[in-house]
Amino acid sequence: CGVPECKAGFCAICLHDCGQDAHAHIYASHKGQIFDKRSFERAKSDRAQGHIIALMDKISHESFELKQLVKNHIEKAKLTQQSSSNDFATKSVFLSKAKADLARSTMADRLSFC
């Protein structure tokens, strides 16, 4: 973040809660590529896939027609990419971890200046 008063301290690539400074995490986990667009896009895609999985879980009790309509809209919007079932498990873990990290940042009031 370019704001000196910002105390968020989370990784913009994977949303990991890094406390007060994300630089060490970026060097360790993302090879120091602070502005690595490919890593950012991959992480963004993983987050989107996690949201899609959560949505489909929420509507699992709905009619086949409704679920198919939602799937068709998701495919039309190109929100998914080809993934194996192992990728879905990894993405779910990623999403859960990212949500927990953001919740910790919020609870510690480190997002109030952003």
C-alpha gyration radius of the chain: 17
Predicted local confidence at residue 98, as pLDDT? 66
DSSP codes of every residue in 27-94 = HHHSTT-TT-HHHHHHHHHHHHHHHHHHHHHHTTTS-HHHHHHHHHHHHHTT------HHHHHHHHHH
**This model's pTM is above 0.85:** no
Q: Which amino acid is at 85?
A: S
Query: For residues 14 and 50, what is the distance between their CA atoms, to the nearest angstrom?
Result: 13
Predicted local confidence at residue 68, as pLDDT? 86
Q: Report which DSSP code applies to 6.
A: -
Predicted local confidence at residue 4, as pLDDT? 67
Low-confidence residues of the chain: pLDDT under 50: 82-85, 112-114
Predicted local confidence at residue 100, as pLDDT? 73
